[in-house]
Chain A
Amino acid sequence: GAVVSQHPSRVICKSGTSVKIECRSLDFQATTMFWYRQFPKKSLMLMATSNEGSKATYEQGVEKDKFLINHASLTLSTLTVTSAHPEDSSFYICSARAVGTYGYTFGSGTRLTVV
């Protein structure tokens, strides 16, 4: 089945630094990937839609300059949290859909802690 690999699974960074999270589709090509954020005991909130070769589409209220998305190839999308602050601490998850399959496959998530 379709597999989405997300790395790192956990990261701790200092306030003011930037963190990059990678999302790879391992056995299929994904022209579109989605980035979600999840707070403890809360549902997933779509942050942005990552489009291969073009600019990402951000949801209302999501800061484009803080959450930089790059989708340079058909198998890789990255989310960079710039100038991270403690309030950016959260669980970030990516997803993609393989052509010919139903539903969306999610990565295993990245737990970001900003100290």
Chain B
Amino acid sequence: QKEVEQDPGPLSVPEGAIVSLNCTYSNSAFQYFMWYRQYSRKGPELLMYTYSSGNKEDGRFTAQVDKSSKYISLFIRDSQPSDSATYLCAMSPNAGGTSYGKLTFGQGTILTVHP
């Protein structure tokens, strides 16, 4: 079983739709949860960063973390064609030493928002 599972999609939605992206994980040590957006042939760009359980909103993006279920989500409201990209969830344990900063990524979900 992979430490982080993410549905690779692809996911295709019409402009203006609400998009829901999800990841599940098995390592209970994960405390920091991130969502990255990656355009083709580019490095990932940090979208959202959350610590432990709860919700965080930033503009059209909302990140949710449910540690009891080991489940995280990213919601995109009023999706735009420019949101078309690969979305990667990433996680890191809350620990010092060499394990700090070591991110474990999901497989990435390919999202296409069509006009």
Q: Which positions in A face B, CB cutoff 8 Å? A: 4, 6, 32, 34, 41-44, 46, 49, 57, 91, 93, 95, 97, 102-109, 111
- When the two chains form their complex, are residues A109 and B43 in contact, meaning their CB atoms are under 8 A apart? yes
**Closest chain B residue, CB of each to CB of A96:** B101
Judge whether B103 and A104 touch: CB under 8 Å: yes
- Contact B41–A93 (Cβ < 8 Å): no
Does the CB pair B41–A102 fall under 8 Å?
A: no
Provide the bound-state CA to CA distance between A97 and B44, in Å.
Answer: 13
The 8 closest A-B pairs by CB, nearest first: A106-B43, A103-B46, A102-B49, A103-B49, A43-B105, A109-B43, A43-B107, A108-B43
Measured in the bound complex, the distance between the Cα atoms of B49 and A49 in whole Å is 21
Instruction: From A41, A44, A107, give the contact of B105 (CB < 8 A).
Output: A44
Please name all residues of chain A whose beta carbon is closer than 8 Å to the beta carbon of B108 when the two chains form the complex.
Answer: 41-43
Closest to A59 in B: B102
| Nearest chain A residue, comparing its CB with the CB of B4 | A43
Asked whether, in the complex, the Cβ of B41 is within 8 Å of the Cβ of A109, the reply is yes
Rounded to whole angstroms, the CA-CA distance of A32 and B96 in the bound complex is 13
Which of B42, B44, B98, B102: most chain A CB closer than 10 A?
B44
Across the interface, name the chain A residue whose C-beta is closest to B48.
A103
Q: Please, which residue of chain B has its CB at the minimum distance from the CB of A46?
A: B102
Most buried by B among A4, A6, A106: A106
